[in-house]
Structure formats: structure tokens, C-alpha cells
Amino acid sequence: MDRSKLYRRFRTLLIANRGEIACRVIRTARAMGLRTVAVYSEADRDAMHVALADEAVLLGPARARDSYLNVERLIEAARKTGAEAVHPGYGFLSENAEFAQACYDAGLVFVGPTADMMNAMGSKSGSKALMEKAGVPLVPGYHGEAQDDATLAKAAEKAGFPVLVKASAGGGGRGMRVVRSADELGPAIVSAKREAKAAFGDDRMLIEKYVDNPRHIEVQIVGDSHGNLLSLFERECTLQRRHQKVIEEAPSPTLNPAQRETVCAAARKAAGAVSYVGAGTIEFVSDGKDVFFIEMNTRLQVEHPVTELITGIDLVEWQLRVAFGEALPLKQDEIKLNGHAVEARVYAENPTKNFMPSVGKISTWRLPAETGGLRIDAGYREGDTVSPYYDAMLAKMIAWAPTRDVAIERLNRGLEESDVRGIVTNIPFLSALMTHPKVRTNAIDTGFIERELAVLTSATLAPGELELCAAVAAVINDERQAAQGGATSPLNSPWQTFGWQPVGRRRRSFAFRVGHGTEQKVTLNYGSGPATLVVGDRELAFAIAPRDGGFDLTLDGVKSAVAAVISGHELYLRTRNGRFDLHLVDPFGGETEEQTGADKIAAPLPGTVVAVLAEEGAKLEKGAPILTLEVMKMEQTLRAPYAGVLKSIKCKVGDIVQEGVELAVVEASGE
């Protein structure tokens, strides 16, 4: 390859990605004086990354294969806008050697490793073969080219169950299954291959011995075109769900200084095997005694900010400088570790419903200011729409502090002060995770979240006196704003102020409930004299002082900050006691809440039918799989709600179905 075409200075950068990472790259590129070009699908016309860039090019329809995964359209977008370089971000085509080569062939600088390096290290199978030759310790398993069922079954038997079936080109937990017996192997391979093909365009699999109670540790490395290769310490990514990272931190609280140097040296050796150029990550799994190489990611990682905060290095800036052909600005002994950083991934998903992705319009987006060691990398804003076509990550919240304990406290405070409404998010789940005693003491492994799921997704707290009074105050505050020409009151109440009746002491009753629970009542006394609230047998003087995002509520001389959002009869409150979702009971009746039975086999979100797993007329046990949908690049299997007969299937493989559409009918057996 012509080295002058691989690395050279450029002025215009196209970001071949979307969401948070596109926004992240745009900010650093613009700070370096570069002109930026965004690309987008029809579903992302009004997306945040489109607004941030200097120019933006429409790639095509919403489906990733027709837009963000379309190499020809990406190259054409660069040509149209005069872009001289392409940054792939992470996900999509970031580890696709054909895309890297296509950029080179088109005369574009690819901000990342060469196609040859990707082929050598980007393939999990290929990198394992290379590491085996270099003497880097590996997890026992199979990483060969043969992909027939018999070969994979034999490899699994040899490694010994449980095993991990894993997409060779994968990442983010997609195309990955834990298999604990030979009977489970065949269906797991079929499902993993299908998911890998949809996400990466490559369905090759490898088999690994599954390490029980494992820890996931990875090392950030960066190489330049002058032969310099550095490690930037390690990250602990043990807190995972479905093999997808949830919380990451740097440095690892598991390693002592000697272990840290050993694993970082192994990472440099691994990357040096291919004379690696660019940013990348060497991933290891530990069983508590030994550390095994599992794969290399030949791209920037989602969790790169924790490394940036403990080193003071902007990794995107270093990526771009390496692409310019510059030498890395520091030597290995000049990279210093400072403090501790923790990152939480904020997703549009419902942890109480098996982390089902959530789609819709973001009606409220309130995240704390980036001060006091807090950093937020976001790809969405208030008013944006979360579509079902892409990964559900909305933002990352990262906290830095001199110590791990303080970093965790700062992160949790940031989570507690965050309010995102209109869609369901995992923010309360993340807060519960960060306050779990075993997380605080680092007594975890990669199966921790699954084991503690019931605790981490426990039922909503019952509202207390403060919350019931705050709910009344929220309604009153909303009505006052409407009366003063602010937002229109969604409750259509005849009471627009306390004093609508001319004389005397008046009362107004409110009733609230959580879900379909018992109603809890509050009485407002107003008119002559100070207004009071009556909860049970207590009467409390109160005052409201509006502020951004809510109000200050004073009850008997104690002032509390309350965040509040009202939508129709639904109230969301955040008080010092936590988050609360309440329903305001309509005093005039007319409630029309839809009752959806648990037996309805319907699409939970828009998606594509990728497999039909049962035949009409089949007798089913409760929980038997019926069909599989692909939603937000992840597979969701719909199951029989009770024992019975599959009366009909109302869809076929390949159908694109909308939310709520009935897909199958099961007739109960009556047992």
C-alpha cells in the first residue's frame, strides 16, 4: 500500500456513524479545526449528530443495511462533500475490513487500522490463531475456519460444557450465547448465526470454554505509523448483561500494580504482533487466578471516556493525529494514571420487562451539568425520537474522582438528578446497580446482574407523605402556569387558582394511585388563611416556588426540591426518596385505561420476524418459544403465556410488524 495514501493531513472528515459516537467525534474534530460531514438515514433526519455537523448527507431508508451499512453510499457521500477522511466510530462498519479497503481504494484516509490489520485481529478466530502463535494465553476452544454443525459440536464437546458460542466478527454481546448442555447447542448456534448476520453481515462462529465467575478486563492501546505502540492502562468491564457492558471503570479495582503491568505488557505484545496502528482494545477474561486473551477490538470502544479521564488524553484526537501521519506525542513512561473513572450506559429500555427496548419521542431530557468531575456524552435531546432500527443507547454518564468510592458517589448523584421521559430508560436500574453493596466492594463477576436482577429491578417504592403532597403541588403548579399563559394544563381542571371562589374556606380533594393499586387521598384546604394539605390525620402548611424542571416544596418549614413531569393523568416525581410514577384519578370519572391481557402474543415493538419456532396445531407448554423478532438489532423471542394449542400464526419470516400487532393465537388447554 502507498503509505502517503494511508496517513496524510486532511481538512474534512466524514463520520460514518450516528448517535452518541458521531456527536463525540464531531466535537473533537471541530475543536481541531476540521470540517465535519454527518451521514443519516431517513429515520435520523432530525437527529442530533446531523445538527452538529457542518454538512450532512442522506444515505437511504431507515434499515441499517440500506444506509449506515451501505459502503457504496458512504463512499459517494464523501465524494459529494469533498471529505478526505472517514471516521467509522464503533459498531456498524468500524471493524469491517472491506470498508477500510474501499476507503483506501477511493483515496480516503480511514481513521483506524488497515484492512490487513483488521483481518488479522478483527476476526476473533484469526486473532486467537495469531495470539496462540505469539504465546499469549488463550481460553480453551475452537477458532477454525470449518463452520459445519459437526465440527462446532465436536469442539464444544472437547472444550467441555458450559461453552460460549460467539460471533467471530461480533461485538456488544450480539451473536453470543452461553450453552450449558449438548441439547442446547444446535438452536443456540442457529440463533447466534442469524443475529450475527443481521448485525455484522458475517455469521462465522467460534467456541470457547465458558469461564464461570469471570471478570472482564481490557487494555486500551494506541499505535502510530512510526512504530510506536502504547498501552493506556486497563478498564474493568465485568458488570454486563447478556454479554453487553453496562458499567465500566478505569483502572480495574481487581488488579494490583504488578498485575496491571503484566496485563498491559501482554496487550502491547498482542497488538505488536501485527504492528498495529490506531486505537484498539485487547480484551481478557480472568478466572481469579489467570488472565486469558479473548479478542481484540480494532476500533474505539464505547467505554473510552474512562481511559480519557484517568490519563488526560483525548483518544479521538490521538486517532486523528495518527491518521495525519504524526507520531504519538507521549512515551510509555510519560502516561500517568490519575484517579478513578466510572461510566454508565443510559439505554432506552425497560429493565422490569426483560430490558425490552423502548421507542418513541423524548418529551423530557434533563441531565445534570458537566461539572464537578461529571461528563456526559449524549446522542439525543428533548424532542428527538428513538426509533426501533438502531442500538438503544441514548448517552453515557462518566464520573471522575481521586478515588473509586467518590467516583461512584458522583456518578450515582448524576443518575439521581437525571430525568428522561416519553420513553422508558434504565436510569433507575443503573442507580440501583451503583448503590449495591457488592458493587461498592467489587465483589462481582460477569453473571452478577442476572443473579441480582430481582433486587435491581424491584417494584416501585410506595409514595409517602412527601410524594403525595408533591403530587398535589405538581398539579397546582401546572394549573398556575396554564392560567398565566404558560403550558396548557392537560388536566382540563375548572380550578385554575386557589381563589376561584370568592369567600370562605374551601376544599379540593385529590386521589392518586401507583399502577392499579389502592387510591391514596390528599385534601387541599384553601381560601381565607394559608393553604394546607391534609394527608391521613396530618395537616401541613405548604408553599410552592417554581424552578426549572419542577419546584421547591416547603412542608411545615422543610424545603425539598422536586422534579415533576405531567402528561395527561400521569405524574412523574423525583424527590429525595427516589422516583415515583403516579396516576391522578379523574374526579369526574371517565377513566379509559386500556387493559391488555398477558396472554396477548403481540409485537412489543416494531420489528422483523426472523424465525417461526412452532407450527400451527402444536401443543405448547407454558413458556414454549413461538417466534423470534429482531428489535433494535437484538432478538426477542415471544413465548406461550400458558399451556395450550397454537391455534394460528399471523405472520411469516421476513414480515416487518408494528407495535401491538397480534402475531399468534394460543388456545388455553383449560388445565
Number of H helices, E strands in the chain: 18, 39
Number of Cα atoms under 13 Å in the Cβ half of residue 549: 17
Cα–Cα distance between 601 and 618 in angstroms, integer? 16
Choose the catalytic residue: 174, 299, 321, 421: 299
> What DSSP designation does 120 have?
I
Cα–Cα distance between 227 and 274 in angstroms, integer? 11
Q: How far apart, in Å, are the Cα atoms of 553 and each of 443, 474, 545, 563?
A: 40, 9, 7, 10
- Residues forming beta bridges with residue 414, ordered by sequence position: none
- Residues forming beta bridges with residue 205, ordered by sequence position: 167
Cα–Cα distance between 261 and 308 in angstroms, integer? 19
β-pairing verdict for 360-361 and 385-386: antiparallel
Cα–Cα distance between 402 and 405 in angstroms, integer? 9
β-pairing verdict for 35-41 and 55-60: parallel
What are the cell numbers at 649? 400464526
In degrees, rounded to 5, the angle at the alpha carbon of residue 75 between the alpha carbons of residues 69 and 81 is 125
Spell out where 445-557 has E strands: 505-513, 520-527, 532-535, 538-547, 550-555
Nearest Cα to Cα of residue 470 among 560, 396, 548: 560
- Residues forming beta bridges with residue 375, ordered by sequence position: 398
Q: Residue 472 contacts by C-beta under 8 Å, 6 or more apart in sequence?
A: 510, 522, 524, 533
Cα–Cα distance between 555 and 153 in angstroms, integer? 67
β-pairing verdict for 634-639 and 356-357: unpaired
Q: What is the Cα Rg of the chain in Å? A: 27
Query: HEC string of 147-206?
Result: CCHHHHHHHHHHHCCCEEEEECCCCCCCCEEEECCHHHHHHHHHHHHHHHHHHHCCCCEE
Cα–Cα distance between 74 and 38 in angstroms, integer? 10
β-pairing verdict for 85-87 and 12-15: parallel
Q: Please list the helix, strand and coil fractions of the chain in percent, rounded to the nearest 5, in that order.
A: 30, 30, 40
Three-state DSSP class for residue 437 = helix
10 alpha-carbon distance from chain centroid = 32
Using the structure block, give the residue that is written with the C-alpha cell 472482564.
216
Q: Give yes or no for a contact between 217 and 236, defined as CB atoms under 8 angstroms apart.
A: yes
Cα–Cα distance between 409 and 440 in angstroms, integer? 10
Q: How far apart, in Å, are the Cα atoms of 497 and each of 404, 477, 480?
A: 49, 9, 6
> Active-site residue 299, yes or no?
yes
Number of Cα atoms under 13 Å in the Cβ half of residue 500: 12
Nearest Cα to Cα of residue 92 among 116, 125, 59: 59
247 alpha-carbon distance from chain centroid = 10
Q: Would you name the residues annotated as active-site residues?
A: 299
